[in-house]
Amino acid sequence: MTTTTTLSVAGPNIKTKLPGPIAAKLLKDDDRLMSPAYTRSYPLVAKTGHGAIIVDVDGNEFLDFSAGIAVNSTGHCHPEVVAAVQKQAAELIHMSGTDFYYPQMTELADRLSAIAPMKGPHKFSYGNSGAEAVEAALKLARYHTKRQYVIAFYGAFHGRTMGALSVTCSKAQQRRRFSPLVPGVVHVPFPNMYRKPEGVSDDDYTKQTAAYIEDWVFRTEVPPEECAAIIVEAVQGEGGYLPCPPLFMKELRRLCDKYGIMLICDEVQAGMGRTGKWWAVEHTGVEPDMITIAKGIASGMPLGILMTRAELMDWVPGSHASTFGGNPVAIAAALATIDVLEREAVKNSETIGRYMMERMKTWPSKLPLVGDVRGLGLMIGVELVHDKAKKTLAGEQRDQVVELAFEKGVLFLGCGPNAVRLSPPLIITKEQADIAMNVLEQCILDVAEGKYVKPNWG
């Protein structure tokens, strides 16, 4: 099928008080049964989804600028993805690629190899989530280099399994009472261009931030010949939608080359076209040694992938695997997703992302509370501050903006301590982008003018 995606509905349509009666009952069940560790920002109880629209259990229609945390790259229930999943489910659901063979595994590997951000040949290991892809990368880096240390960044989010959590350093709550974590991880500063010291040029600040690794960490704490990997997001996601300056990534590559360290680029959130290129690291001109992939790869089916330069994957049978990893149904969804991304959605992410940024880059000078707007493609962060000179974090106001937008029928999430994240499906239209920006702008103005009233959600 080679149809262009068309959406029947453009924007929100809220018909009940939120939450509606059916949602309100479900929230009680959820409270009774589900883990209290989930971080729900508002009471959205989803029933169906098409394109960028989510319909809740009471029939309210929301414009989804969260995409299930940057997952539904082709939109909700894209017809080609649905057809591929249905066909594959009728033929073969599972056979475990760890112990048997099936053709979908290599078919997807070949498709990814053709768009890889580093020269081939490549090798692949399949899992079920972003965290699992990160686990595989960390384990392979140790296995291949026979070294133990890993350098990661403040603000980074790589997942919540013990290994991935050990390199995660985004919110203390994510780590609280789980220590001791995997030893050998050292966190270092990540460049934040909005918060660089006054009077220092972008390049000097970027170089100084990178130099900390060689001048301090390697000199005082981690002998570089014992460092297995540096793991980095080309756009920090959970940390606040902060793009990594190309010069910083180049400095990391230089250090890795100098000391024989693996450069792992975590593309779980920023990959699969979200930034307007297949991979966020492509914006930096650097070729990593390994990349981790999940979220947008399969439009919502669980799939996590480690892709490496082939010669690095030198582990032997038994070293690493996962029963469900590379499940045929998830792979079928991924192949259909790549078709849609290749044909239209990566380009659309670039085009609509640029269109949005054109308007939103005026917000820091125009709108109250907005300190910074940054991002690449359809991965845009809006940082809210109380005082634009002092850049004091306005985290509570950020939460209020997100809540008000929900009441108006647009789904955003937060990221970092005080930013609103925009991560819509990559197939959104200009009209939908306008609706989301209008709502966000209005909510920011309302909060700034003290019009926020805590919603009564029961």
Ligand X SMILES: Cc1ncc(COP(=O)(O)O)c(C=O)c1O
Least separation in angstroms between residue 14's CB and ligand X is 28
Site string for ligand X, 57-96 (x = CB under 6 A): ------------x---------------------------
Nearer to ligand X, 295 or 309 (CB): 295
Binding segment for ligand X among 117-125, 155-163, 219-227, 388-396 (CB under 6 A)? 155-163
Q: Contact, 407 vs 33, CB < 8 A?
A: no
> Residue 237, interface with ligand X (CB under 6 A)?
yes
Picking from 338, 383, 374, the residue whose alpha carbon sits closest to that of residue 353 is 374
Nearer to ligand X, 294 or 380 (CB): 294
Least separation in angstroms between residue 70's CB and ligand X is 7
> Residue 288, interface with ligand X (CB under 6 A)?
no
> Residue 399, interface with ligand X (CB under 6 A)?
no
Least separation in angstroms between residue 293's CB and ligand X is 10
Q: Contact, 122 vs 112, CB < 8 A?
A: yes
Least separation in angstroms between residue 21's CB and ligand X is 32
> Residue 326, interface with ligand X (CB under 6 A)?
no
Instruction: Give the Cβ contact number of residue 454 at 10 Å.
Output: 7
Binding to ligand X (CB under 6 A) within 128-147 occurs at 129-131, 134
Binding segment for ligand X among 12-20, 108-116, 261-269, 382-390 (CB under 6 A)? 261-269
Binding segment for ligand X among 83-91, 209-217, 262-270, 371-379 (CB under 6 A)? 262-270
Which distant-in-sequence residues (6+ apart) come within 8 Å of 60 by Cβ? 12, 13, 14, 15, 16, 18, 20, 409
Q: Of the candidates 57, 256, 268, 313, which one interacts with ligand X according to CB under 6 A?
A: 268
Task: Determine the 3-state secondary structure of 7 from DSSP.
Answer: coil
Q: Contact, 441 vs 19, CB < 8 A?
A: no
Least separation in angstroms between residue 122's CB and ligand X is 20
Binding segment for ligand X among 217-225, 230-238, 277-285, 344-352 (CB under 6 A)? 230-238
- The pair of structure tokens assigned to 417 is 């301590």
DSSP annotation string for 319-369: SS--TTTT-HHHHHHHHHHHHHIIIIIHHHHHHHHHHHHHHHTTHHHHSSS
Amino acid 4 reads T
> Residue 372, interface with ligand X (CB under 6 A)?
no
> Residue 269, interface with ligand X (CB under 6 A)?
yes
Task: Determine the 3-state secondary structure of 213 from DSSP.
Answer: helix
Q: Of the candidates 238, 339, 350, 403, which one interacts with ligand X according to CB under 6 A?
A: 238
Binding segment for ligand X among 51-59, 233-241, 246-254, 272-280 (CB under 6 A)? 233-241
Q: Of the candidates 294, 331, 369, 380, which one interacts with ligand X according to CB under 6 A?
A: 294
Binding segment for ligand X among 108-116, 154-162, 219-227, 424-432 (CB under 6 A)? 154-162
Amino acid 73 reads S
Nearer to ligand X, 266 or 350 (CB): 266
Instruction: Give the Cβ contact number of residue 9 at 10 Å.
Output: 14
Least separation in angstroms between residue 420's CB and ligand X is 16
> Residue 397, interface with ligand X (CB under 6 A)?
no
CA distances from 68 to 53, 301, 370 (A): 12, 12, 25
**Alpha helices (H) in 65-148, listed in sequence order:** 67-70, 79-91, 103-114, 130-145
Asked if residue 36 has a cis previous peptide bond (ω within 30° of 0), the answer is: no
Count of residues making up the chain: 458
Picking from 229, 240, 234, 298, the residue whose alpha carbon sits closest to that of residue 266 is 234
Whole-angstrom distance, CA of residue 308 vs CA of residue 263: 10
Least separation in angstroms between residue 235's CB and ligand X is 9
Number of residues in contact with ligand X under rule CB under 6 A: 15
Which parts of this chain interact with ligand X (CB under 6 A)?
69, 129-131, 134, 157-159, 233, 237-238, 266, 268-269, 294
